[in-house]
Amino acid sequence: MIAPSEQEKLPYDESNLVHTSAAVRELPIRERIGFSIEAKNAVDALMKVREAESAGLRQVWMTVPGSGNADALTVYAAAVMQTNRIRVGTSILPIYTRHPLVAASQALAVNDLAPGRLRLGLGPSHRHVIEQAYGLSMKSPLTYLKEYVTILRSALWEGKINFHGKFFNVTATLPRKAQIPLLVSALGVNAFHVAGEISDGAISWMCPAPYLVEKALPALRAGAKALNRPVPPVIAHVLVALSDDASLTRAAVRQKILFYMKAPFYLKMFSEAGFPVSEDESTVDRLGDSLLVSGNEETLKRRLLGLMENGLDELLIGFVPILDEESERKRLLQLIGSL
């Protein structure tokens, strides 16, 4: 167990409150690449967080997919006490299933244990998850997100909130403050515009890099400019496979894309990105080629660095195992940790 006072000071801490695209680009490359943890359970997740830090990584992320999975913030409360410096982020925490004051309480607990190491990614999730799995109504998701982030930022950053909007009426005082970065998920151009207005970072998922550079980033900048605030960084989700076998990597990515074709938000984004998706394999493979970075270590290094040189602030690596999940994961972590 590592006491908070013994932890190293990080680039993302309360002495560096405004997390801007410009500031992120001044950081070392290794600080700008994170790894998405996929785990069977909480014990497996803890092992993989420790493994990532041992390999030299500076950031890990966990999703909160659907119902019944290990809660990311609960896992992180344990993980930060078993690690020294690695940052932890949610990508994302669904906002419809957790009141903002509950999210604030959980975030404060993690920050108490590891000041400056939590980045809280938030998002509406998807209608089929929220309405079918949870049985909740999902109306006006971007308006709901704006209200949620407003409440959460006031609660965490100011220690008090008095908000009355379309969806929320919240009046509360918290026992302490913590200026935890609040990031939001974004797929469509409108969502990136909103991210520019309200967030400390926009987290993409399954978005082709050309779409991010040509459409999403201009919308993010326009949103920030509209409210006269600094442009937040974009954290770009990138699928990565440590393999030179084109047929195997295409097959693996095809399965991932077919899963996301069940979600209308993703179908709309794919179409905006120039990939109107059908179940035709050639169309799906063309999209997969735009999402995947694959090859040996040297090829991966060159292409990941190229993505950041071409306009992406941070990368969120989505690992795609091909033949040997454990071996390939460890090799990929070692590569990222060496950058």
Residue 17 has pLDDT above 70, yes or no: no
pLDDT tens by residue, 71-104: 999 999 999 999 999 999 999 999 999 999 999 9
Beta bridge partners of 37: 62
pLDDT tens by residue, 242-299: 999 999 999 999 998 888 887 888 999 999 999 987 766 778 889 999 999 999 999 9
CATH of the domain at 61: 3.20.20.30
Phi/psi-derived region of residue 265, left when phi > 0, alpha when psi is between -120 and 50, beta in every other case? alpha
- Percentage of the chain exceeding pLDDT 70: 93
Task: Provide the residue range defining the domain that includes 251.
Answer: 4-338
The pTM for the full model equals 0.92
pLDDT tens by residue, 118-164: 999 999 987 878 878 889 888 999 999 999 999 999 999 999 999 99
Domain count, the chain: 1
pLDDT tens by residue, 24-53: 999 999 999 999 999 989 999 999 999 999
pLDDT of residue 309: 94
For range 185-195, the mean pLDDT: 96
Residue 199 has pLDDT above 50, yes or no: yes
Task: Identify the residue with better confidence: 64 or 129.
Answer: 129
